[in-house]
Amino acid sequence: MAEPAPAPPTPRARPEEDDLLARYAATRDLTLELSWPLGPEDMVAQAIDEASPTKWHLAHTSWFFETFVLSPFLPGYRLFDPAFGFCFNSYYEAAGPRQPRPKRGLLTRPTLDRVLAFRRHVDDAVARLLEQGADEEATRRIELGLHHEQQHQELLLTDILALFAANPLRPAYRPARPRLAGGAPEPLLWLAFAGGVTPIGHGGPGFCYDNETPRHEALVAPFALADRPVANAEWLEFIADGGYETATLWLSDGWDRARSEEWRAPAYWERRDGEWLAMTLEGLAPPAPDAPVAHISFYEADAFARWAGKRLPTEYEWELAAASAPVAGNLLASGALRPQAPAAPFRRRPRQMFGDVWEWTASAHLPYPGYRPPPGAIGEYNAKFMCDQHVLRGGSCLTPAGHVRPSYRNFLYARQRWQCSGLRLAAEPR
């Protein structure tokens, strides 16, 4: 474990949807595979309060299955270690007290070997439950646990990036792969949408989180949407034009935050010998001019949109537009691990709606009309965060395959930048 792997694993294809045990094994295996390039020292450190150590992710995802699936549904299940509940609970008040989030990096014990043994213990028990025949509620919770683990696969990578960016050696998660230098981005194309009364939220078969429901109708005014996200070259123009020094472009809270934290560029950008470099999972590299800008806050996205004479789309506008785009893109399975330049323009439909970067919207993370959280601790998954956070849509280059859909609602605080977040511009129709 101490020696970095020569290259990260290539995520495998997902098994058939109806084979829950095979999907469980593949998902759990991928989490371990994503940790392979790391040494034990890498797995215990925590760079910022929002991030968590890799070892904690490995244990927490197992705690989730133990707490919400095995303990209530597998007769005779034995807890691996009763103390793990305190160590690896994240934010579930109903599940008991926990290690404070900013201090997860202090959990040098249990050791990595014991955490891996915990994972094996849980995996064996879930397999027994499924082989014995899990009831509908247990099956539903296993499905939720798999999607929860996919979220933590992305978090594991973004948290490692935050950790390595804070290291003065600027280490790489994997060796850099050959890439085209990239040229100037193509001019933005503006796509017109008529709006109207449109269905919003998840409908039909397939998994979704509770905050994507209930499906309802919303009135959307006519709007225009850029055919691609904002690119690094365009962000460099914003910087050069004094975007970070012009108070009139910023919301008041955003301006205060940008001043207090001395923002001059996206997170992980630094200037060396007159050149901007960006920290990536492959180490420091010049930001590709035609790739989407990443690691920006809502405040920065909003300021850029105002500088450009545009605005951010609402999440309803985004979802309406996403209905015309294929649910495919530069996701974790591509192996790129960073945003990529868009493909050639489509006719009358947006590009890069899925993958590359999560796209900030102008919408607050609020409940849909008629929303009711699930009962018990599971109801804390989304409902308690429906305040003071903004919705992002579309997934990123670190989002696992099968974990994006038009109705998916990610959410972050306006100040947060450690996730792979970018923006797409919207405007009123001409």
For residues 162 and 184, is the Cβ–Cβ distance under 8 A?
Answer: no
Provide the residue count of the chain: 430
Over the stretch 97-144, which tens digit does the pLDDT of each residue have? Answer: 999 999 999 999 999 999 999 999 999 999 999 999 999 999 999 999
Q: How far apart are CA 239 and CA 109, in angstroms?
A: 44
Per cent of the chain over pLDDT 90 is 90
| 338 pLDDT more than 70 | yes
Per cent of the chain over pLDDT 70 is 95
The residues, any chain, with a CB within 8 Å of residue 274's CB and separated by 6 or more, are: none
Q: What secondary structure letter does DSSP report for 249? A: G
pLDDT recorded at residue 60: 98
Alpha helices of 51-111 — where are they, by DSSP H?
A: 54-65, 71-73, 84-88
Q: Of 227, 323, 239, 246, nearest to 278 (Cα)?
A: 239
Number of neighbouring beta carbons within 10 Å of residue 430: 6
What's the Cα-to-Cα distance from 90 to each of 50, 57, 355, rounded to whole Å? 12, 10, 26
* Phi and psi torsions of 398, nearest 5°: -110, 5
Q: Of 43, 376, 41, 28, nearest to 210 (Cα)?
A: 376
Number of neighbouring beta carbons within 10 Å of residue 370: 9
SS3 137: helix
Over the stretch 349-362, which tens digit does the pLDDT of each residue have? Answer: 899 999 999 999 99
In this structure, the strands spanning 358-364 and 389-393 are antiparallel
Q: Of 343, 345, 352, 353, nearest to 315 (Cα)?
A: 353
For residues 69 and 141, is the Cβ–Cβ distance under 8 A?
Answer: yes
For residues 404 and 395, is the Cβ–Cβ distance under 8 A?
Answer: yes
Alpha helices of 262-339 — where are they, by DSSP H?
A: 298-307, 315-322
For residues 88 and 56, is the Cβ–Cβ distance under 8 A?
Answer: yes
Least confident of 10-19, 27-36, 49-58: 10-19
| Averaged pLDDT of the chain | 94
| 12 pLDDT more than 70 | no
The residues, any chain, with a CB within 8 Å of residue 102's CB and separated by 6 or more, are: 46, 49
| 241 pLDDT more than 60 | yes
What's the Cα-to-Cα distance from 388 to each of 46, 91, 384, 417, 429, rounded to whole Å? 25, 17, 11, 16, 29
pLDDT recorded at residue 182: 78
Over the stretch 405-423, which tens digit does the pLDDT of each residue have? Answer: 999 999 999 999 999 999 9
pLDDT recorded at residue 18: 67
